[in-house]
Amino acid sequence: MKKSTLLHSEISYVISKMGHTDTLTIGDAGLPVPKGVQRIDLAVSKGIPSFMEVFEAILSEQQIEMVIMAKEIKEKSIDLHHKILEKICSLKQQDNRDIQIFYVSHEEFKEKTLESKAIIRTGEFTPYANIILVSGVVF
């Protein structure tokens, strides 16, 4: 049995196949998944699993150098936005590395998901609880 935090085999497989600058999206229950992009559906019911639970599990396995969020999260989901920033700040301090944060319109965000290796759907019902993780390198 796998020992690390992230136990979901499909997500682990996608991350293991990713290279530098490849992207992985974590979305709320309503984020559309474009045709041709792998959907990993974790949503069980409202709030299960939460966005933050999935985000934290993925960060335990994926090296990231950049995140992209919809700019609307700053006004519509202030608490979640702060939690995301706290987690990213913690990673920066822990690994002594720079993680860039970019904001785009929600429409542009959805267009960028076309490039994702996969989109992971959570049970999150918080508006704009979506993030694109850009893979970094471990060296």
Q: What residues act catalytically?
A: 20
- Would the annotation count 82 as a binding residue? no
Pick from 47, 41, 9, 44: nearest CA to 25: 41
- Would the annotation count 129 as a binding residue? yes
- Would the annotation count 130 as a binding residue? yes
- Would the annotation count 96 as a binding residue? no
Q: Which parts of the chain are beta strand (E)?
A: 23-27, 38-41, 64-70, 100-104, 118-121, 131-135
Residues facing residue 132 across a β-bridge? 25, 68
Residues contributing to the annotated binding site: 28, 106, 128-130
Residues contributing to the annotated binding site for substrate: 28, 106, 128-130
